[in-house]
């Protein structure tokens, strides 16, 4: 059964003995997030007049908060390769809401997300606070998006995209949509921009459905989050950073999307062996 099936993974009833764990983890996470928001806001008050769009301190605050949340959950994080230094763009496959925590925990990035996410309860608020760029996936807006991306890149930020356009069950890579890649080929960016593919894979806890961490389709966030909070022992999330691609070496947006997709897909295959 894959994400394309009408049925998500079977929901496992949460035993009574797990509720104290859920409540304790949830409480600690709320404290971590709340404390992080305060520190992040103070950092931005200092950064904004001194560094503008650059986030030399607040980006590290988000990284520390996400590392702490993964530790509270007990979800192990394994990293292969190195995030590229400096400004640029990264692309990754998208399997779960946990992707955001895992990627932020490894390196400060600015997520580029579809506009609807801004209105999602909880997640939308956190996304706005951490500086997420909300855009409409429309080719007609490629020029405006390129201008926006260039401004962020000039400020030293690294932009991160999920080119599949949706999340999957975490066991596969969906075809990359080339529309967003067109903005990266704008003359102001193409000659100097590198794109780094990242493969993100989850290893379910022993005995659990292989798609345990996957969150897709019409699955509710609340029930899925409760299952993750209740789980002990947890599984593992693995990030594999591939060598950066020179955007100037690609002929067009379709070639760039295909090359990045092939690298991400190969990394997922390696994780399964």
For the chain, which residues make up each domain, given as ranges? 16-272
Q: What percentage of the chain carries pLDDT values higher than 70?
A: 92
Quote the radius of gyration of the chain (alpha carbons, Å).
Answer: 19
Band (226; pLDDT cuts 50, 70, 90): very high
Whether 4 shows a pLDDT value over 60: the answer reads no
pLDDT greater than 50 at residue 223: yes
The dihedral over CA atoms of 53, 118, 101, 47, expressed in degrees to the nearest 10, equals: 20
- The whole-number average pLDDT for the span 178-190 is 83
**In Å, what is the CA distance from 183 to each residue of 207, 247, 258?**
43, 11, 16
CATH entry, 16-272, from 1.10.287, 1.20.1070, 3.40.1130, 3.40.630:
3.40.1130
Segment 200-214 mean pLDDT: 91
Residue 2: per-residue pLDDT: 42
pLDDT at position 3, please?
46
Residue 9 has pLDDT above 90, yes or no: no
Q: What is the mean pLDDT of the chain?
A: 86
**Range from 48-57, 104-113, 131-140, 258-267 that averages highest in pLDDT:** 258-267
Q: Supply the pLDDT for residue 116.
A: 78
CA distance 147 to 169: 33
Average pLDDT over residues 138-145: 72
pLDDT at 1 over 50: no
Examine the pLDDT at 269 and tell me if it is beyond 50: yes
What does the pLDDT read at residue 138? 67
Is residue 166 within 8 A of residue 216, CB to CB? The reply is: yes
Buried b (16+ CB within 10 A) or exposed e, 237-262: bbbbbbebbebeebeebeebbbbbbe
Confidence of residue 70 (pLDDT cuts 50, 70, 90): very high
pLDDT tens per residue across span 168-177: 887 889 999 9
pLDDT on residue 227: 93
């Amino acid at each position: 059964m894959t994400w394309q099936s009408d049925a998500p993974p079977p929901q496992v009833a949460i035993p009574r003995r797990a509720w104290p764990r859920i409540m304790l983890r949830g409480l600690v996470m709320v404290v971590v997030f709340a404390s992080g928001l305060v520190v992040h806001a103070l950092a931005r008050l200092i950064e904004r007049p001194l560094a503008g769009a650059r986030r030399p301190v607040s980006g590290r605050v988000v990284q520390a908060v996400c590392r702490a949340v993964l530790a509270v959950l007990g979800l192990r994080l394994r990293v292969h390769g190195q995030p590229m230094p400096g400004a640029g763009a990264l692309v990754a496959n998208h399997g779960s809401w946990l992707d955001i925590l895992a990627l932020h925990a490894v390196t400060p990035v600015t997520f580029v997300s579809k506009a609807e996410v801004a209105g999602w309860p909880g997640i939308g608020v956190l996304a706005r606070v951490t500086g997420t760029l909300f855009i409409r996936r429309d080719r007609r807006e490629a020029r405006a998006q390129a201008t926006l991306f260039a401004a962020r890149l000039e400020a030293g930020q690294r932009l991160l995209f999920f080119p599949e356009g949706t999340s999957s069950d975490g066991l596969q890579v969906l075809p990359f949509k080339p529309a967003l890649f067109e903005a990266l080929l704008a003359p102001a960016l193409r000659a100097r921009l590198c794109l780094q593919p990242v493969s993100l894979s989850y290893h379910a806890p022993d005995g659990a459905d292989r798609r345990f961490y996957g969150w897709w389709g019409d699955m509710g966030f609340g029930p899925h989050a409760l299952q993750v909070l209740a789980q002990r022992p947890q599984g593992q999330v693995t990030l594999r950073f591939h060598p950066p691609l020179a955007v100037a070496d690609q002929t067009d947006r379709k070639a760039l999307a295909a090359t990045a997709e092939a690298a991400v897909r190969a990394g997922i295959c390696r994780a399964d062996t």
